Amino acid sequence: MKAIFKKEFKNYFLSPVGYIFVGVFMALASMFFASGILSTQQADISLMFSDINVIYLFLASLLTMRLLAEEKNKKTDQLLLSSPVSITEIVLGKYFAAMAVFGVTILLSFIFPAIMFAFGEPSLSEVIGSYIGFVLLWGAFISIGVFISSLTESQMIAGVFTFASLLLIYFISWFEASVQNELAKKVIDCFSLLSRYSEFQSGILNIENIIYYLSFIFVFLFLTVRVIDKRRYS
Amino acid sequence: MTDAINAVEIKNLTKLYGANKALNDISFSVKKGEIMGFLGPNGAGKSTTMNIVTGCISANSGSVSVCGCDVLENPKIVKGKIGYLPENPPLYFDMTVGEYLDFVYELKKVKNNKKQHIAEVMELVKISDMKNRMIKNLSKGYKQRVGLAQALIGNPEVLILDEPTVGLDPKQIIEIRNVIKEIGKQRTIILSTHILQEVEAVCDSVTIIAHGKIVAQNTIEGLEEEAGGKDKYILRVIGNKEKARVLLRNMEGIKDVRVMESREENVASFSVEQLSGYDIRETLTKAFSDADMAIAELRSASLSLEEIFIKLTNTAAVEEETEEVPANDETMVETAAEEAWAEEEEVEENESNI
């Protein structure tokens, strides 16, 4: 797992993908910081994170589309599958590499709360809650991306399909309101990643929400492992 | 573990791709320290078999064990014992050769001196001076070598090489073959190929697969013997046909003489079979020179590996009785191969790449 993690993480910064991701992410965050916080003079970090812009979804697909699709396309998966590592280790190595690139961005973004603490009095619990929620939300986004990347050989298709799926999740709470069927409501609720996110922003660390995100991630990574394993049998 | 255990033991392996049986109940084994040529026409199931042995894909039924370990029960242990060079070398083009081998070293969890080990492997396949080059900028031959180096990382007991010389120029082919021979002194190697000279040049034994079935497993000499023709010669003599025939009839050690059509006037052609245990070549040349007749040609009529290959793979095709057999007129080829020793015209040896 360590070898795969290292290779993938390095790969992000050997190609432009890592720089584009960190750069665009930080540019967007700065923009929201400037427009939402600096200009309104409010020390409320949730203003920055609440603008989970659609462009963030695009960035998430950019981060994950290559991960497994490329291996299959270039047939390098034969090296991984014939090595003494399990498929779970392969998938986790790749997932954590993508998370680590996201982690780099998160570390850089600490500059925003730092500015706020220097010039105002933001609520510490809100800042911490927002960050934890944001990381969990992204963890879920990336797990979806990794899963979709395992389904196809083309990173293009993986990227577009991931973006479409995340977009659907982004808008899914709108459907929830118009659906009458109880069961359908429940199913939609399962995928409603963003609705649970707002609680974190108010500084509430609800264990139920944390478990929800972690199990969401677990399910998608588990499905990824199954997809790769199943391909060996077909 | 005793030496008696086969390095690779494959039992009753079956693999289905949909309704298509890619492998149909195949079994074979590879002895320790042997270089085994794994032969078969395109689409016969060579790569499928190799992918199953290395754990890249799973079989529908059957078992594979490597050095006494079952692939399904202990996949990690088995994978640690195998070095695999797939048909397309699994290279990451945006890495340098050094970075790539570093990654493979860590991926395979090798536990010996890293720098020294990688340097040794690079030395063996002669890519040391390419260490800092990007893989995408390397020529096909060098890419193939990097692929081979990757398989050698960790000194695996068993090496599985899928068409390692495909697409290389003749000089590179010879170099890679020499590397394989060198490595094969200490390890067990399964070498898949459809180039028959390669098998003759490198391998100790041959397994031939066709249409998902094993049609032969033997040493090269054993195969030639099995296919017959070891004791048969084609003889062409300048002079009177009847006189030559009488001479042959009276010679000791001869089992059978058949007269064959001759294209040239004044040249008589015979197919001569000796009794096993005899070598008639010396007596034969002497007898004819005593009789003042010149021998225009005397050659062994044993089937070449190519002819054996065609014969065996076509027999399998006929047995299969499918409509999807290759488009070429196989009955003709088969007859040609079967009667190769009896015909005056030999099957030309230009069919090296079947």
Q: What are B219-246's pLDDT values in tens digits?
A: 877 877 776 666 788 888 888 888 888 8
Q: What are the pLDDT digits (tens) for B261-312?
A: 887 888 888 888 888 778 888 888 888 888 888 888 888 776 777 777 777 7
Q: For residues B122 and B153, what is the distance between their CA atoms, to the nearest angstrom?
A: 10
Q: For residues A140 and A98, what is the distance between their CA atoms, to the nearest angstrom?
A: 12
Closest CA to A45 of A120, A137, A113, A107: A113
Chain B residue with CA closest to A78: the answer is: B56
Q: For residues B203 and A2, what is the distance between their CA atoms, to the nearest angstrom?
A: 38
Strands (E), B211-316: 213-219, 232-238, 254-260, 267-274, 294-300
Please check whether residue B57 touches A, CB under 8 A.
yes
Chain B residue with CA closest to A90: the answer is: B107
pLDDT band at B12 (very low <50, low <70, confident <90, very high): very high
Query: Mutate which of B17, B106, B107 to test chain A, going by most A C-beta atoms within 10 A?
Result: B107
Task: Give yes or no for residue B354 having a pLDDT over 70.
Answer: no
CB B266 within 8 A of CB B190: no
pLDDT for residue A154: 94
Q: How many CA atoms lie within 13 A of A204 on its CB side?
A: 8
Q: What is the three-class DSSP state of B162?
A: strand
Chain B residue with CA closest to A1: the answer is: B107
- A232 and B56 within 8 Å at the Cβ level: the answer is yes
Contacts of A3 in chain B (CB under 8 A): 103, 106-107, 109
**B205-210: strand order across its sheet:** B82-85, B158-162, B188-193, B35-39, B205-210, B213-219
Indicate whether this model's pTM tops 0.90: no
Within 8 A by CB and 6+ apart from A45, the residues are A37, A112, A113, A116, A122, A126, A127, A130
Q: What are the pLDDT digits (tens) for B159-170?
A: 999 988 887 888
- B94 and A11 within 8 Å at the Cβ level: the answer is yes
Q: For residues A160 and A168, what is the distance between their CA atoms, to the nearest angstrom?
A: 12
Please check whether residue A16 touches B, CB under 8 A.
no
CB B201 within 8 A of CB B170: no
pLDDT for residue B324: 45
Give A11 to chain B, closest Cα distance, Å. Answer: 8
pLDDT for residue A52: 58
Task: Give yes or no for residue B81 having a pLDDT over 60.
Answer: yes
Task: Give yes or no for residue B347 having a pLDDT over 70.
Answer: no
Rounded to an integer, the average pLDDT of B45-72 is 90
- A74 and B94 within 8 Å at the Cβ level: the answer is no
Within 8 A by CB and 6+ apart from A232, the residues are A81, B56, B57, B58
The C-alpha torsion from A53 through A123 and A140 to A57, rounded to 10°, is 10
Rg (CA), chain B: 25
A residues 47-86 lying closer than 8 A (beta carbon) to B: 74-86
Contacts of B56 in chain A (CB under 8 A): 77-78, 81-82, 232
pLDDT for residue B196: 80
Q: For residues A175 and A168, what is the distance between their CA atoms, to the nearest angstrom?
A: 10
pLDDT for residue B326: 45
H helices of A179-206, in order, are: 182-190, 193-201
Question: How does DSSP classify residue B195?
Answer: B
Residue B145 burial (10 A CB sphere; 0-12, 13-18, 19+): buried
Q: Which residue has the higher pLDDT, A154 or B199?
A: A154
B residues 159-188 lying closer than 8 A (beta carbon) to A: none
pLDDT for residue B136: 93
Q: Which residue from B51, B75, B90 is facing A76, i.e. has the nearest CB?
A: B90
Please check whether residue B77 touches A, CB under 8 A.
yes
pLDDT tens over chain A, length 234 residues: 899 999 999 999 988 999 999 999 898 888 888 887 888 777 777 767 666 567 788 999 999 999 999 999 999 999 999 999 999 999 999 999 999 999 999 999 999 889 888 888 888 888 888 889 889 999 999 999 999 999 999 999 999 999 999 999 888 877 777 888 888 888 888 888 888 888 888 888 889 999 999 999 999 999 999 999 998 887
CA angle B86, B92, B93 (to 5 degrees): 115
- Domain positions in chain A: 2-232
Closest CA to A46 of A200, A222, A189: A200
Rg (CA), chain A: 19
Q: What is the mean pLDDT of chain B?
A: 82
Q: For residues A68 and A201, what is the distance between their CA atoms, to the nearest angstrom?
A: 33
pLDDT for residue A50: 63
Lowest mean pLDDT among A142-151, B147-156, B192-201: B192-201
ipTM score of the complex?
A: 0.88
Q: What are the pLDDT digits (tens) for B168-184?
A: 888 888 888 888 888 88
Q: What are the pLDDT digits (tens) for B33-44?
A: 899 999 888 888
- A83 and B79 within 8 Å at the Cβ level: the answer is yes
Closest CA to A145 of A25, A69, A65, A56: A65
Give A2 to chain B, closest Cα distance, Å. Answer: 8
Please check whether residue B56 touches A, CB under 8 A.
yes
pLDDT for residue B351: 40
Position A233, amino acid:
Y
**Strand pairing report for B294-300 and B232-238:** antiparallel
Within 8 A by CB and 6+ apart from A23, the residues are none
End-to-end CA distance of chain A: 25
Please check whether residue B107 touches A, CB under 8 A.
yes
Distance set, CA B228 to CA B223, B298, B299, B351 (Å): 9, 18, 15, 20
Residue A25 burial (10 A CB sphere; 0-12, 13-18, 19+): buried
CB A199 within 8 A of CB A206: yes
Q: What are the pLDDT digits (tens) for B304-344?
A: 777 777 777 777 666 655 444 444 444 444 444 444 444 44
Please check whether residue B241 touches A, CB under 8 A.
no
